[in-house]
Chain A
Amino acid sequence: MPHPAPNTFLPLSTPVLHILLALADEERHGYGIMREVKTRTDDEVRLGPGTLYGAIKRLLNDGLIETSGERPDPAIDDERRTYYRLSGLGAKVLHAELDRLNKIIAQAIGKQLSLSAALSIGSKGDLTGGRV
């Protein structure tokens, strides 16, 4: 069965986006994902175990992530842990979401520049008006 188009999964919720981002560079277990998200966002996004595994369940069902049989560091690892990795579809969805966010940011930056320009013109006008 062909995969659904990545755009059909967008926009991603905050936990899902952060989970996919956490898995973008390496396979991680649940607590690894929690810790990575917490560190990367400077403690702004904290995923509880329920939120995390609720999202993982959906991501597994949608085929955006998959479980990994490999254990990257078996010497210090708990055997009971399940590792997760991004699937091909998951990577495409993540890229599509990042593209979407990039466009929004670009638009916001564009507006900010316009606003700065307007403020600049406005202040000049005021000065001129003051002189007249």
Chain B
Amino acid sequence: MNMLTRAERIYATLLHLYPKAFRREFGEQMQLCFRDAWRAAHLEPPIARLALLIDTGVDLTVIVSKQYFQEIQHMNEITRARLFALATMMSGIAWIILWVILNGDDTFASRASKTASFVLIYPTIALALVGLARLIPRSLSSRIAVAAGLIMLALSLVGVMLENWILFSLPLSLFFIAHAIVSIGILRHKPFAYLNGLSLITFGLFISIYIANPYNYTEALAQAWGTSLVQYTSTFILIEMIQSSLFVLIGLAWFVVGILMARISKQAKAINI
């Protein structure tokens, strides 16, 4: 297989990232475009191919998300609500599984990972319940959502207090404040959709930055090297890194949900963010 064919095949595979309708309508034409551009770049110095790959990568990233946003904007309210519900439920389920896995084993789960999972589990359950409530096509669903959310908010408050002897001067308390806003925002999705979206974005970013902090890895390494090397092997470090990476991914997923919500809300549309 030569370079040309490989690049074209990779691009054809990446086209599957686009929404199905868009891909069906324009996928083949886009593939032809890339093929021609790639072949033309081969007639120029190698830097032209690199430039084309970078351009195409940026183009793909930006336009794929844009096409999904446009699809969401054209959905009706019920479909949007269901999409939102599905996203929140999936994130909730993912968190619950992760939390159980992390907290089920004291040997491998580091303190930082456990704390993060502990703090984040409650709003995620709240999100999942609210998502579930939104699937029920009755007015009662909003009441269930509010009740569930408030219970989970209270639980998260108690949880954070018990775990960290909450002090608002601690950076960790920002987690609490953030997920309190998120929970309230979710409960009143429509009127506060914009704020809700922004808070989710901030929340997701904060989690990503906090969890991605090299300190977590350093801590894992220190634990591994500082204690018995017989007990803590490279498997331990690997598991630590996988765990931290999962947190980063989930943090980024929150970020995406935040953008999604901000984009689909009417308020966001009005101020054109």
Contact = CB atoms under 8 A, between A and B. Distances in A.
Interface of A: 29-31, 34-35, 46, 48-54, 56-57, 78, 80-82
B163 interface: no
A56 B26 contact: yes
Nearest to B59: A48
A80 B32 contact: yes
A91 B252 CA distance: 44
Contacts, number: 61
Contacts of B66: 54
Nearest to B29: A30
Given A31-B36, A31-B37, A50 B30 contact: yes
A40 B187 CA distance: 53
The binding surface of chain B is classed by DSSP as: helix
Interface of B: 18, 22, 25-26, 28-34, 36-37, 40, 55-56, 58-60, 62-64, 66-67
A91 to B, nearest CB: 23
Nearest to A84: B29
Contacts of B33: 30-31, 34, 49, 52-53
Q: Which of A46, A48, A78, A82 has its CB near the most chain B CB atoms (within 10 A)?
A: A48
A49 B28 contact: no
A40 B181 CA distance: 51
A82 B29 CA distance: 7
Contacts of B36: 31
Contact of B59 (A30, A50, A78): A50
B58 A54 contact: no
B55 A30 contact: no
B63 to A, nearest CB: 3
Contacts of B18: 50
A49 B22 contact: no
Contacts of A57: 22, 25-26
A50 B62 CA distance: 8
Given A31-B36, A48-B56, A53 B28 contact: no
B56 A49 contact: yes
Nearest to A81: B32
Contacts of A49: 29-31, 33-34, 37, 56, 59
Given A49-B56, A57-B25, A31 B62 contact: no
Q: Which 5 A-B pairs have the closest CB atoms?
A: A48-B59, A50-B63, A49-B30, A53-B26, A31-B36
Contact of A80 (B28, B58, B59): B28
A46 B29 contact: no
B39 to A, nearest CB: 10
Contacts of A46: 55
